[in-house]
Amino acid sequence: MSKLTDVPKRILIGRALRSDRLGETLLPKRIALPVFASDPLSSVAYAPGEILLVLSVAGVSAYHFSPWIALAVVVLMSTVVASYRQTVHAYPGGGGDYEVATTNLGARAGLTVASALLVDYVMTVAVSISSGIENLGSAVPFVVEHKVLCAVLVIVLLTLMNLRGVKESGTLFAIPTYVFVAGVCLMILWGAFRGLVLGETMRAPTADYHIKAEHQGLAGLALVFLLLRAFSSGCAALTGVEAISNGVPAFRKPKSKNAATTLTLMGLLAVIMFCGIIVLATVTKVRMAENPATDLLRGGVPLGPDYVQNPVISQVAEAVFGKGSVLFVVLAAATALVLFLAANTAYNGFPLLGSILAQDRYLPRQLHTRGDRLAFSNGIVLLAGAATLLTVVYGADSTRLIQLYIVGVFVSFTLSQIGMVRHWNRHLATERDPAARRHMIRSRAINAFGACLTGLVLVVVLLTKFTHGAWVALLGMCIFFATMTAIRRHYDRVSEEIAAPEGPSEDTVRPSRVHSVVLVSKIHRPTLRALTYAKLMRSDTLEAVTVSVDPAESRALCEEWQRRGIDVPLKVLDSPYREVTRPVIEYVKSLRRQSPRDIVSVIIPEYVVGHWYEHLLHNQSALRLKGRLLFTPGVMVTSVPYQLASSAAAGARARRRQEWNAPGSVRRGPAQVRPKGPTAPKS
Amino acid sequence: MSKLTDVPKRILIGRALRSDRLGETLLPKRIALPVFASDPLSSVAYAPGEILLVLSVAGVSAYHFSPWIALAVVVLMSTVVASYRQTVHAYPGGGGDYEVATTNLGARAGLTVASALLVDYVMTVAVSISSGIENLGSAVPFVVEHKVLCAVLVIVLLTLMNLRGVKESGTLFAIPTYVFVAGVCLMILWGAFRGLVLGETMRAPTADYHIKAEHQGLAGLALVFLLLRAFSSGCAALTGVEAISNGVPAFRKPKSKNAATTLTLMGLLAVIMFCGIIVLATVTKVRMAENPATDLLRGGVPLGPDYVQNPVISQVAEAVFGKGSVLFVVLAAATALVLFLAANTAYNGFPLLGSILAQDRYLPRQLHTRGDRLAFSNGIVLLAGAATLLTVVYGADSTRLIQLYIVGVFVSFTLSQIGMVRHWNRHLATERDPAARRHMIRSRAINAFGACLTGLVLVVVLLTKFTHGAWVALLGMCIFFATMTAIRRHYDRVSEEIAAPEGPSEDTVRPSRVHSVVLVSKIHRPTLRALTYAKLMRSDTLEAVTVSVDPAESRALCEEWQRRGIDVPLKVLDSPYREVTRPVIEYVKSLRRQSPRDIVSVIIPEYVVGHWYEHLLHNQSALRLKGRLLFTPGVMVTSVPYQLASSAAAGARARRRQEWNAPGSVRRGPAQVRPKGPTAPKS
């Protein structure tokens, strides 16, 4: 793309380029799947293990419940996918859970969902990276020996990448995700082939270990509670399912249909992989414990604190492919990579949600404008900081982190499904076409079932996980909720304060005159330029003002002023304490006091330099003065810039910065305002 | 002082108040002595000990050299005091060493002195506080057990005090300094009385210890070197002597005479205290070693790492007043306090020197204006940071820190004395009056002798201390020198670039027209005000411009614009990527391209808020846009502020900030420009 400096051409090509870019950005299904599904698909790397971990509390005999729990997760997954298929069709604008909850349940529900999602993004980074490190560690022991350090390094790396503005590319997501999916499917098929056809016995590395049950022979309510806890942990497989509903605008047309198909495909893959891994784990006799050091026994002896418990997926891969085989290593690498991509998803989703929240004035407005690097940077740094904190506090232990993870997910699932039920109710009230009504009633039934099921799971998760860490997630949600409420309240107060009254007001009453004051410290080019510009503005009075910090200098200034015959009167302000700001402020105030209906225009010559350290050497008093003048009513402050040679460097930097890619641009779809869903009138 | 809001009255009383304050600020000798002498007087708390420490290397027998070394220090002290009496008379403007060196030896010598002084200020803080902690520790063991922590805490406390802007008060200095001087003198007198009149034997707590000499029976060159090293260490007593020559303007009239008298008084007190302590230390048999843990023996056994070596002054006080006596504790407290005040001296001197260097454009200009809190804050934080670093690295060990201290002092002594010789030479070339000539020749002789002696000491210090740490001080000086040279070079380059040519130039050629552009995002009071002000400026064309980030919003804006009948045309700029900055910049550039001889005035309505967090919520795009516009030639940027109700808080804060006292104002004398010494024409 060559540089165009010609205006009409640029305007012409500008349009062309735009549609170009539009086409380029829209995602075909085969790319959309990995972009949006890396998060939910990658969760099969840890979810099955979590189920076994919890069951191990009741001893190895409880492991026979695992297929039933997997079945429950599959039912839940199918329900959620079916529910979100409805959402995708009803909200093609890609508002996602926040939009659905806000539109149908009101602002507070929407804000709750938003808080839950923000916490979720933080957890996605912490959990995915910790789990990725554990998977990588099954092939590279060094990594697992320095778990926290490595996890933090990966966070830092992702953060830098996203701050730098790496363009999110579909291909980047596609390759590792497809390698991962293919690897897991191959593992399942090869395992089935070896077991069923060849009749071989595959044994996981932990198959010979025994589990010391913390509660042997659990029964009744206690057993039910344990099974529910195992189920809650297994629900980690559902994280990220809602991503597609946020990203409908990024799909090729027909958007909703393609998105729904991708959603179904993703659900199918997740279910197959999840069940396959659970079955293989049962067959190969994988043994896991919450406290492997004490509860896993080899020949009756605990394994001790040095034992590193590898993830289920890597134990199964070892059993099926053989330890150290090429396929084993490739799968471990692909798993880690997909998990890191899942973490990167949060880096993209966080600013995207932030932008929507900013549009609704729950977050600073600048988050709304795309490509605002500074605003995005703040969001990214906040996300990375919170994730690092959690990773360090929880020792990069994915099992402990997952306890915090699922609350947020199910809060947003539940509220969003309830919102959808309301959505259909509202539309049923007006819809007359019987076919459309039948369709809506069916959708409502699906969403109602989804709401009940996810609501139930939320209760279960809260009951079983609250003391295990879910309270931290709830606390995080409360903090986000309170902050956003405060911001919104501030914006509302200001907007009320500045609302323009109808008819004439004090702001439209024309002041009688303008006194222009040019600040002068020396006679140099910036001053001369400022004077020239000031004269051009034809204000009622024009004078130059200098602050006499050094009597000798100001005497010299006056002499040169006269010698050059500058036709603007020069006023010297006395400054006994060698201050600059105060005398000017006092002078401006005195002008206003003499004629309160006039305004004062203060014109300041400013150097424009190219480097931050040069900035420290210039304009400091001008900046301070400007800041103070803005507090003085009836004043306008004009900067007349003088570009020093070094400013060219900054110009180039600014241009480079403009070409920066905001994270999340691929999944956000083409640049456009979030359209309100056609069937979603704002309540 | 009641608040005056009446302008003429304020102008009248302003003058009166000023001379009031002037009188109030000028220091009588009895206050000037403690203000300026806390640094040199406090150094007698550590200098005698340093001599003994070095001598101990050759065993206790070398202690009998200590009176001779003390004598050498006294001779040096007298010479330096005599030399500076000449400076005080010749430079009543209080330029100090930097002024003298710059005027007489050129800019590079001046900058060298300035670098040395800056390093010195850092060292004063580190050494004085470390020594203060050690003295306090002789009475309060806890302090010496957590030496580094306590030292850093004191630095932090002093830093906060100075950042906060505590008004430097003469009394604050006077009481502890006089208590300290009186205490030491009483100790000397009481010791002499007990020893000579009562014939009692006073014994220091370490009198029974033996010293394991590192080099027994040192002789010849090695002994001379050791004695020179001991002398170098003793020279620590001279630090801070030059302070008075910087502060002449703060004295009451006749300034020079009073300053010279105070200087003599200070020298006299220092000599008495220094010699008294050395003699008492010899009489009471104080034993000190560089490595007390291994080299001090009690009954033939080393004292081991737990032994804490108390300063000489506290050991002598224990011997004379008795351990734990009231006088002992009072003297220890006064010593510590005076040392902390000496450290505070550096907090005052650093910005003072910085202000002078800024005037000569070696440091950012804003340091020059008094009461510029931000600039002073940066200097104070820099000073505190460097001092903390040294304190931590050297474990708050005054003995190790002193190795770094003396280089800077003697660099500035020597260069300043050489400068004075040149000064007299120059004046002798024109002076015809025989009496005046005689006087000048005498002064020149004193300064020449001073230059030789201090130069010799500098060589000795460099030779004996270089590897002990003096290289660190030299490195620091080089860094300061290089930084200041670079800053000066930058200012010179810019000043050349912006120098106003004689006659008409591109900056005085009147552009043909002004296009005014008011940026509009919504119709609210700030916008209305900006439009009203813009209309008043009577530019050639006036239009309002809005960036269409959301088509629906901008449509609504256009409708409201029409409905309200605002008589300024509204232009909507398309922004396909939801950016604000780029479309505006492009539009302004296109205006300039259409008519390159015109200028564009961009008017931005701005909210003025009271809290930094509110600032994060507003004006961010406006600020960014302003920053980018300044890089565009032919543009002037006007802010029309709209003061929100919360801005009142910031106004009050700004007023409070204005009443802040810059550190060092007492010793700087009344506010006025540094007058050039009448006998010191700028070279």
pLDDT digits (tens, 9 = 90+) for B333-346: 999 999 998 998 88
Residues of B whose CB is below 8 A from A639: 626, 630, 636-639
Residues of A whose CB is below 8 A from B370: 577-579
Three-state SS string over A509-558 comes to CCCCCEEEEEECCCCEHHHHHHHHHHHHCCCCEEEEEEEECCHHHHHHHH
CB–CB contact A535 B509 (8 Å): no
Count Cα neighbours of A29 within 13 Å in the Cβ-side half-sphere.
14
Residue pLDDT, tens place only, B416-458: 999 999 999 999 999 889 999 999 999 999 999 999 999 988 9
Distance from CA of B62 to the nearest CA of A (A): 54
Instruction: Give the pLDDT confidence score for residue B294 in this predicted structure.
Output: 82
Residue pLDDT, tens place only, A430-444: 988 999 999 999 999
Q: Does B636 touch chain A (CB under 8 A)?
A: yes
Residue pLDDT, tens place only, A596-629: 888 999 999 988 887 777 777 776 777 878 888 8
* CB-CB contact of B451 with B417 (8 Å): yes
* CB-CB contact of A242 with A216 (8 Å): no
Domain ranges in chain B with CATH number 3.40.50: 514-644
- Residues B230, B55: Cα–Cα separation, whole Å: 6
> Per DSSP, what are the bridge partners of residue A635?
A600
Instruction: Give the pLDDT confidence score for residue A232 in this predicted structure.
Output: 87
Instruction: Give the pLDDT confidence score for residue A680 in this predicted structure.
Output: 33
Q: Does B576 touch chain A (CB under 8 A)?
A: yes
Q: Does A554 touch chain B (CB under 8 A)?
A: no
Residue pLDDT, tens place only, A179-219: 999 999 999 999 999 988 888 888 888 888 888 877 776 77
- Residues B352, B247: Cα–Cα separation, whole Å: 10
CA distances from A251 to A247, A351, A416, B184 (A): 7, 19, 22, 87
- Residues A225, A466: Cα–Cα separation, whole Å: 13
CB–CB contact B369 A580 (8 Å): yes
Confidence of residue A670 (pLDDT cuts 50, 70, 90): low
Instruction: Give the pLDDT confidence score for residue B682 in this predicted structure.
Output: 34
Nearest to B627 by CA among A621, A381, A633, A615: A615
Nearest to B239 by CA among B101, B156, B93, B125: B125
Residue pLDDT, tens place only, A504-513: 777 777 787 8
User: How many residues comprise chain B?
Assistant: 683
What is residue B548's DSSP assignment? E
- Residues B449, B428: Cα–Cα separation, whole Å: 18
**Which stretch, A176-190, A370-384, B250-264, has highest mean pLDDT?**
A176-190
Confidence of residue B8 (pLDDT cuts 50, 70, 90): very low
Q: Is the peptide bond before A254 cis (omega within 30 degrees of 0)?
A: yes
The b-or-e profile of A99-131 (16+ CB within 10 A means b, else e) is bbbbbbbeeebbbbbbbbbbbbbbbbbbbbbbb
What is residue A433's DSSP assignment? -
- Residues B107, A538: Cα–Cα separation, whole Å: 46
Angle between helices B470-498 and A525-536 (to 10 degrees): 40
3-state DSSP call for residue A360?
coil
Average pLDDT of every residue of chain A: 83
Cross-chain CB nearest to B617 (options A371, A491, A633): A491
Q: Does A601 touch chain B (CB under 8 A)?
A: yes
Count Cα neighbours of A44 within 13 Å in the Cβ-side half-sphere.
32
Task: Give ∠ CA B139-B144-B148 in degrees, rounded to 5.
Answer: 145
Confidence of residue B502 (pLDDT cuts 50, 70, 90): confident
List all residues 6 or more positions away from A66 whose beta carbon is below 8 Å from its beta carbon. A51, A52, A55, A230, A278, A281, A282
Is residue A393 over pLDDT 80?
yes
Instruction: Give the pLDDT confidence score for residue B222 in this predicted structure.
Output: 85
E strand or H helix that includes residue B541:
strand B541-548
Confidence of residue B267 (pLDDT cuts 50, 70, 90): very high
3-state DSSP call for residue A370?
coil
Q: Does A643 touch chain B (CB under 8 A)?
A: yes
- Residues A300, A210: Cα–Cα separation, whole Å: 8
- Residues A298, A209: Cα–Cα separation, whole Å: 5
Instruction: Give the pLDDT confidence score for residue B1 in this predicted structure.
Output: 35
Is residue B226 over pLDDT 60?
yes
Average pLDDT over residues B41-52: 90
Q: Which amino acid is at B665?
A: S
Instruction: Give the pLDDT confidence score for residue B428 in this predicted structure.
Output: 92
Q: Does B590 touch chain A (CB under 8 A)?
A: yes
Is residue B59 over pLDDT 70?
yes
Q: Which of B488, B524, B574, B632 to mutate to test the interface with A (most CBs of A within 10 A)?
A: B524
Q: Which of A13, A19, A529, A581 to mutate to test the interface with B (most CBs of B within 10 A)?
A: A529
Which two three-digit tokens encode residue B402?
């002193």
E strand or H helix that includes residue A211:
strand A210-211
Residues of A whose CB is below 8 A from B647: 631
ipTM over 0.85: no
CB–CB contact A507 B525 (8 Å): yes
Confidence of residue B212 (pLDDT cuts 50, 70, 90): confident
Fold adopted by B21-490: Amino acid/polyamine transporter I (1.20.1740)
- Residues B19, B22: Cα–Cα separation, whole Å: 5
Which two three-digit tokens encode residue B680?
């010191």
- Residues A588, A573: Cα–Cα separation, whole Å: 11
Residue pLDDT, tens place only, A43-86: 888 999 889 988 888 888 888 889 999 999 999 999 999 999 98
Which two three-digit tokens encode residue A471?
């309270």
CB–CB contact B621 A671 (8 Å): no
Residue B531: count other Cβ atoms within 10 Å of its Cβ.
23
- Residues B524, A494: Cα–Cα separation, whole Å: 11
Residue B178: count other Cβ atoms within 10 Å of its Cβ.
15
* CB-CB contact of B404 with B470 (8 Å): yes
Which positions 166-195 of B are in contact with A (Cβ < 8 Å)? none
Is residue B673 over pLDDT 50?
no
Q: For B531, which residue in chain A has the nearest alpha carbon?
A: A508
Domain ranges in chain A with CATH number 1.20.1740.10: 27-490
Instruction: Give the pLDDT confidence score for residue B658 in this predicted structure.
Output: 60
* A514-666 placed in CATH 3.40.1280.10: no
Domain ranges in chain A with CATH number 3.40.50.620: 514-666
Least reliable range by pLDDT among A339-343, B5-9, B258-262, B300-304: B5-9
Nearest to A232 by CA among A395, A404, A63: A404
Nearest to A37 by CA among A214, A233, A177: A177
**What phi, psi does B441 have (nearest 5°)?**
-65, -40
Instruction: Give the pLDDT confidence score for residue A255 in this predicted structure.
Output: 84
Residues of A whose CB is below 8 A from B509: 532
Confidence of residue A166 (pLDDT cuts 50, 70, 90): low
Which two three-digit tokens encode residue B418?
């050489």
Residues of A whose CB is below 8 A from B651: 631
Q: For B603, which residue in chain A has the nearest alpha carbon?
A: A638
Residue pLDDT, tens place only, A577-596: 667 888 898 999 999 898 88
> Per DSSP, what are the bridge partners of residue B517?
B543, B602
Is residue B244 over pLDDT 60?
yes
Instruction: Give the pLDDT confidence score for residue A170 in this predicted structure.
Output: 67
Helices (H), B43-146: 47-55, 66-90, 96-105, 107-139, 141-145
Instruction: Give the pLDDT confidence score for residue B165 in this predicted structure.
Output: 61
List all residues 6 or more positions away from B19 whose beta carbon is below 8 Å from its beta carbon. none
Is residue B485 over pLDDT 80?
yes
Task: Give ∠ CA A564-A568-A571 in degrees, rounded to 5.
Answer: 100
> Per DSSP, what are the bridge partners of residue B268?
none
pTM here? Answer: 0.70
Is residue A253 over pLDDT 70?
yes
- Residues A455, A409: Cα–Cα separation, whole Å: 11
CB–CB contact A630 B639 (8 Å): yes
Domain ranges in chain B with CATH number 1.20.1740.10: 21-490
Confidence of residue B623 (pLDDT cuts 50, 70, 90): confident
- Domain B514-644: CATH class, spelled out: alpha beta
- Residues B387, B343: Cα–Cα separation, whole Å: 10
- Residues A282, A315: Cα–Cα separation, whole Å: 11
Q: Which amino acid is at A117?
A: L
Q: Does A654 touch chain B (CB under 8 A)?
A: yes
Instruction: Give the pLDDT confidence score for residue A141 in this predicted structure.
Output: 82
Average pLDDT over residues A261-267: 92
Average pLDDT over residues B525-552: 88
Residue pLDDT, tens place only, A450-481: 999 999 889 988 888 888 888 999 999 999 99
Identify which has the larger pLDDT, A655 or B423. Answer: B423
CA distances from A149 to A293, A343, A358, A391, B357 (A): 22, 17, 34, 10, 47
CA distances from A592 to A586, A595, A634 (A): 10, 5, 7
Output the CATH code of domain A27-490.
1.20.1740.10
Cross-chain CB nearest to A617 (options B487, B599, B626): B487
Confidence of residue A424 (pLDDT cuts 50, 70, 90): very high
Q: Does A538 touch chain B (CB under 8 A)?
A: yes
Which positions 336-365 of A are in contact with B (Cβ < 8 Å)? 364-365
Residues of B whose CB is below 8 A from A607: 494, 498
- Residues B286, A294: Cα–Cα separation, whole Å: 63
Q: Does A650 touch chain B (CB under 8 A)?
A: yes
Cross-chain CB nearest to B369 (options A578, A606, A633): A578
Instruction: Give the pLDDT confidence score for residue A682 in this predicted structure.
Output: 34
Cross-chain CB nearest to A638 (options B511, B576, B637): B637
Average pLDDT over residues A111-132: 93
Q: For A661, which residue in chain B has the nearest alpha carbon?
A: B577
Residue A461: count other Cβ atoms within 10 Å of its Cβ.
26
Q: For B616, which residue in chain A has the nearest alpha carbon?
A: A364
CB–CB contact A647 B631 (8 Å): yes
E strand or H helix that includes residue A608:
strand A599-608
